[in-house]
Chain A
């Protein structure tokens, strides 16, 4: 099942995982438009997406839209077809297909694909072969007894909610009390159900929060819309924030409340922009609209410096510094930041940027890069630079897209060799069914990196415990990276327990308090421990080693209660 042919690569699964979605970068878009002979008159190309060995795109004119699909025919030429039934479309739109096919007749599909992939933007999202989210795999099901072997419940991250506009802004939640109080408000991370669930970090800038607290009388009296209007008006008039983020929830949407008239008036009369996200609508375009508005007010014009970039997807001060250092290896200078911080005004040189370079794009898929492409910026969106191999790959990609010379190697951080020596003394287990193990050993689908690959790179001995309903072969320990990897099957809960009971220091689980681990005094970890960059790799290794050393009850584990 697992490809272990390359000694240095992380283990990969050969199962046909859904292909990651790639959208066209700046050069790709220019080339694509040229190769189809320019969009037919009055039409424009939208949503061009590479899906494995196919290309989907739309031709759009006002409200009309034709969905087209390009693939390779048996002779290697491009085959154009329509997505969906064309018979109901006007003749003109049916003619579009012939027009595009004719323009592409002289182009080889492989050549087209290669050109588009050169600067394609990698998305790991719901449309791009991501793993089932925690919502689908855990929350929606009520009985998890039959799936006793599951440890992996990846959370779909929606980081757009964490954008910071840098200035003083206000959030209004139009919701009932029952809705607002739907999880612990106090920061008690150690008590939470899933590990890593915590209150969002305080955003930069000053921030206020208002609940409309819809009550029974408001609903019965038909006053919910009025409540919303009053809250918006009061916040805009009294607080005068730079922005208002309005969130509407299930009940007001069920009764038909709409903030649109209020938003128009508040923006017109108070000059306060309102970002409205709703329970029943995709929030991506709303955020895109706000980013576009912010970009429009940023000085992104005039002379561009090809070595000046805006870094995006920075989660901490450490990642900020490390990302800038990696860019420095390519001779790039960082003149601005985007995501989560969108306070472009804080970067006086941002106007000289020629490109946006994503450091870690995982979780930001809802906001399309079109907003940057439309401003003439190049965009680099690739696997985040986890570990030395990831950093190498990231540097190579940034260099390729921006036309630079990639450095031979990023320098290893101090202490790495010593850390690897300590990690070699420890064994980490990854357990689950084959799909879970595939997620943990492959790059991109869930986390943007291979958990097994990084652990091996750090020197750990990785035990993959693979649930198999029937007899399955064991694959003996083999060297991988600086560590080792092995695969052991199990078919019953008792067998899993036996495997966990010896020879393991740490186990991957998304539960904060996993009864299967607690019964053996084992501690858990998950993808949130990993940090991008080489410094991040060092911190990750140290954190994991500390968890290995923190197994409780070293002499009394036999007294631990069995898991239920």
Chain B
């Protein structure tokens, strides 16, 4: 039976691939599949007000191969589609702004043994766009695998020359940039600010909305900071460039941000500096938020409904920091703060604080990060607002 809770759906593989392609300037994705490939991209269109996947008047970034005159896609699979798909590749690769052309497969197309990988390889030519195949797990994989596999395909295919790393330069690989909106702009500004405070310059972020040049700038980093959403890609980038690899966790909340800074600092010999920085930043953040936390937030119950393990773990720790009760200690009959995406439902009556993918109901105009110390302030602000609105409306 369909579950109507705010986090009912497990998002499948292609959703993650779409998120990645939307976070790459000049990227196109060819999906061997039916026209639902288009309608599926609408989820990203609704999540990201600046999505580039489906321009109403331009060339679609997500291209399906089921462009057959016979409407029925299943029956069309019994025909030889090689020339049709080859033509689609040629047309997409010829787009003037095509810097990256990726390919993958919709679930039932996985079963028919179509030579998509071979066709993809045929269109990879010197001087042309980067053309890579993403091995599909559309039938069984999750959206997080889709995102990670896309990043890994890029790490294998892009030009990343060894020995070019600069001192104090880092690359962030595995950032889940699910939309081109000010929450992520704020996150990246915050991460760069904190790393700069440690004396480090961010040369490249995977993925950040930039194109091929932004990704290939990772070769100038002497340290690859691996974030949770593309570990394999981070390992590949470090291996190919000869950079040092530092696997960090998601810096969400005071404690996780502090651990993030200390981990990076340890990898670059800046531990004492990081300790001072974290202490100063934490002090300011607590002072800014203590009235909200103590008067409004602490003592409430909270529920975390996420299918992203990194985010779930970070939110659990955040709840502890804010005095939100997530286990059985929370009173049963009191409403709880709910940290969940809004893919299936939005519970205005629930103190729902949308977190995770997708978020259809919030599209900030001003920067509103959720990572680092600035992100911590915004999270407190959102949680307190949700609680007070609920209280006021229930009165």
Chain A residues in contact with chain B, CB under 8 A? 135, 139-145, 148, 176-179, 181-186, 188, 191-193, 208-211, 215-217, 219, 250-251, 253-255, 279-280, 511, 513-516, 563-564
How far apart are the CA atoms of A254 and B114 in the complex, in Å? 14
Interface residues on chain B, number (Cβ under 8 Å): 55
Given the known A-B contacts A191-B45, A211-B2, A513-B56, are A176 and B75 also in contact in the complex, defined by CB atoms under 8 Å? no
In the complex, which residue of chain A has the Cβ closest to the Cβ of B38?
A: A139
Tell yes or no: B55 within 8 A of A by CB. Answer: yes
- Residues from chain A with a CB closer than 8 A to the CB of B72 are 279-280
A219 with B67: CB separation less than 8 A: no
B67 with A140: CB separation less than 8 A: yes
- Residues from chain B with a CB closer than 8 A to the CB of A139 are 35, 38-39
- Residues from chain B with a CB closer than 8 A to the CB of A515 are 55-57
Tell yes or no: B291 within 8 A of A by CB. Answer: no
- Residues from chain A with a CB closer than 8 A to the CB of B39 are 139, 182-183
Given the known A-B contacts A143-B60, A250-B74, are A183 and B343 also in contact in the complex, defined by CB atoms under 8 Å? no
**Cβ-defined partner of B59 (8 Å) among A143, A176, A217, A280:** A143
- Minimum CB–CB distance for B308 against chain A, Å: 16
- Main SS at interface, chain B: loop
Contacts A/B (CB < 8 Å), 6 sampled: A176-B12, A176-B107, A179-B36, A184-B343, A186-B360, A211-B2
A135 with B108: CB separation less than 8 A: no
The B20-41 residues at the A interface (CB cut-off 8 A) are 34-36, 38-40
- Residues from chain B with a CB closer than 8 A to the CB of A216 are 137, 139-140
- Residues from chain B with a CB closer than 8 A to the CB of A144 are 55-60
Chain B residues in contact with chain A, CB under 8 A? 1-2, 9-15, 34-36, 38-40, 42-43, 45-46, 49, 54-60, 63-64, 67, 71-75, 77, 88, 91, 106-108, 111-112, 137-140, 342-346, 358, 360-361
**Cβ-defined partner of A148 (8 Å) among B57, B63, B140:** B57
- Residues from chain B with a CB closer than 8 A to the CB of A210 are 1-2
B74 with A253: CB separation less than 8 A: yes
- Minimum CB–CB distance for A390 against chain B, Å: 31
B140 with A191: CB separation less than 8 A: no
In the complex, which residue of chain A has the Cβ closest to the Cβ of B68?
A: A140
- Residues from chain B with a CB closer than 8 A to the CB of A255 are 111
Beyond known contacts A191-B360, A251-B139: 12 more, CB 8 A cutoff: A144-B56, A145-B59, A176-B12, A182-B36, A184-B360, A186-B345, A192-B46, A209-B1, A210-B1, A215-B140, A254-B77, A254-B111
A280 with B74: CB separation less than 8 A: yes
A178 with B361: CB separation less than 8 A: no
In the complex, which residue of chain A has the Cβ closest to the Cβ of B142?
A: A177
Given the known A-B contacts A176-B108, A250-B34, A280-B74, are A184 and B55 also in contact in the complex, defined by CB atoms under 8 Å? no
**Cβ-defined partner of B108 (8 Å) among A191, A254, A564:** A254
- Minimum CB–CB distance for A257 against chain B, Å: 12
Given the known A-B contacts A142-B63, A192-B46, A250-B34, are A182 and B74 also in contact in the complex, defined by CB atoms under 8 Å? no
A193 with B54: CB separation less than 8 A: yes
User: Nearest 9 A-B pairs (CB), nearest first?
Assistant: A216-B140, A251-B108, A191-B46, A178-B12, A143-B59, A216-B139, A178-B107, A182-B36, A209-B2
In the complex, which residue of chain B has the Cβ closest to the Cβ of A211?
A: B2
- Minimum CB–CB distance for A524 against chain B, Å: 11
How far apart are the CA atoms of A511 and B55 in the complex, in Å? 11
In the complex, which residue of chain A has the Cβ closest to the Cβ of B41?
A: A193
- Minimum CB–CB distance for B125 against chain A, Å: 21
- Residues from chain A with a CB closer than 8 A to the CB of B91 are 143
B59 with A516: CB separation less than 8 A: no
- Residues from chain A with a CB closer than 8 A to the CB of B15 are 181
**Cβ-defined partner of A188 (8 Å) among B34, B46, B63:** B46
- Residues from chain B with a CB closer than 8 A to the CB of A217 are 140
In the complex, which residue of chain A has the Cβ closest to the Cβ of B35?
A: A139
- Residues from chain B with a CB closer than 8 A to the CB of A209 are 1-2
- Minimum CB–CB distance for A239 against chain B, Å: 9
Please indicate which of the listed interface residues A178, A179, A254 has the most CB atoms of chain B within 10 Å of its own CB.
A178
- Minimum CB–CB distance for B46 against chain A, Å: 4
How far apart are the CA atoms of A148 and B56 in the complex, in Å? 9
B111 with A219: CB separation less than 8 A: yes
In the complex, which residue of chain A has the Cβ closest to the Cβ of B58?
A: A145
Given the known A-B contacts A177-B10, A178-B14, are A183 and B42 also in contact in the complex, defined by CB atoms under 8 Å? yes
- Residues from chain A with a CB closer than 8 A to the CB of B108 are 176, 179, 250-251, 254
- Residues from chain A with a CB closer than 8 A to the CB of B112 are 254
A185 with B56: CB separation less than 8 A: no
In the complex, which residue of chain B has the Cβ closest to the Cβ of A176?
A: B107
- Residues from chain A with a CB closer than 8 A to the CB of B55 are 144, 515, 564
- Residues from chain A with a CB closer than 8 A to the CB of B71 are 135
- Minimum CB–CB distance for B91 against chain A, Å: 8
B36 with A184: CB separation less than 8 A: no
In the complex, which residue of chain B has the Cβ closest to the Cβ of A188?
A: B360
B342 with A279: CB separation less than 8 A: no
How far apart are the CA atoms of A143 and B95 in the complex, in Å? 10
- Minimum CB–CB distance for B102 against chain A, Å: 15
How far apart are the CA atoms of A511 and B77 in the complex, in Å? 31
